[in-house]
Structure 1
Amino acid sequence: MKSISLRELILAAIFSAVIVVLSQITIPAGLVPFTMQTFAVGLVATILGKKIGTISVFIYLLLGLIGLPVFAGFSSGFAVLFGPTGGFLVGFLANAFVTGWLCELKENNLTMAIIANLVGALLTLVFGTFWLQLAASMSFGAAAAAAFTPFIIPGIVKAVAAAFVGILVTRRLPVAARS
């Protein structure tokens, strides 16, 4: 396996900060709030690709796990990461990897970036729904009604926006693009 360069680590750290900032844009909506976290994860994966994008998300999750208030609503800790909505956070790893991988198939291609971000957003919702079902001892229908259905339209909008902005950034700032 190829080692990670200092440049890649710095990019991962910088883009972890982007996720932190965008995660604070939150609209409370019952058990699962609307946040810009999924937009941020898709954006990071589109720009950085599967390897560095996933590392960036991992750093973000690690920061929250150790107690820094980086998750939505300035929350953090073990209870948040492994609580009822923690599946969304864990799902960000799968989202970043798959989105980045699909974006790498056709670099700087908006159509592929949109597809990649839609698939990644779907993965996040699936992780979040199943996790909520288990953590809150809910039926699958109740979990889907709380954690999946209300987020379909916002997820599509955020995925398309993340793809568009991500492709725009990689075309304008190739230094930030995948290495």
Structure 2
Amino acid sequence: MSIRNMVLAGLFAALLSISSQISFPIGPVPHTLQLFFIMLAGLVLGGRWGAVSVAIWILLGAFGMPVFAQAKSGLPELIGPTGGFKFGFMMCAWLVGRLTERSRLSYPRVGLAMFLGLVVTYVVGLIGFMVSFEYFLGKPMTWDKAWYLAVAPFIPFDAVKAALAAYVGVKIRGALKQAGYSA
């Protein structure tokens, strides 16, 4: 466990906290810049430390720090309709990092990792969304309705964020490697 990795995980948790507050209210759930920094954390820090940075963010929010979108916090945010997405974010950072940490980076390879990270985020988030509605709100929902409410509106914006994270992440990893840091 290196101090460099711990500091970078904390830095990415802070960036994720800040990016959660930059929101665009389109529909019932705001669009934020979270996914950009989640994918960037996985790409720059690797699977383990990328997931740790997201876990730190989740723990900060669970303990009451207003780090989630719209300055929300607390355990209800983790079991509410968007709670599954938060855990999907952690899995996304891990998967993106795992698929890219030991490979020679190319935009197609990183793009595939980002795509798979998005799929994992959507699947875990959608399951959490449906469970929340059925068991906590008492309103069962079909897969189709859940898809159109919780995933479909985000796909175009998330694709742009993933592409930007891929571009920036490859540049950062190249700069770190050139500077002599393992990346």
TM-score normalized by the length of structure 2: 0.89
2:173 to 170, 173, 176: 170
Q: Which amino acid aligns with 1:24?
A: Q
Q: Which residue of 1 aligns with 2:33?
A: 36
1-side partners of 2:15 and 2:143: how far apart?
33
Q: How does 1:1-179 map to 2 (within 5 A)?
A: 4-137=1-134, 138-174=141-177
- Percent sequence identity is 37
Structure 2 residues without counterparts, runs of 5 or longer: 135-140
- RMSD in angstroms over aligned alpha carbons? 1.7
Q: Which amino acid aligns with 1:160?
A: A
How far off its partner does 1:93 sit? 1.2
1-side partners of 2:130 and 2:167: how far apart?
33
Distance 1:178 1:119, change over 3 A: farther
Distance 1:178 1:74, change over 3 A: farther
Q: Which residue of 1 aligns with 2:138?
A: none
Q: Which has the larger radius of gyration?
A: 2
Deviations 1:57-114 (A, max 9, x none): 1111111110101111111111111111111101011101111011124243222111
1-side partners of 2:20 and 2:172: how far apart?
20
Q: Which amino acid aligns with 1:113?
A: V
Structure 1 residues without counterparts, runs of 5 or longer: none
Contact 1:118 1:160 (C-alpha < 8 Å) held by counterparts = no
Q: Which amino acid aligns with 1:161?
A: L
1-side partners of 2:124 and 2:96: how far apart?
15
How many corresponding residue pairs? 176
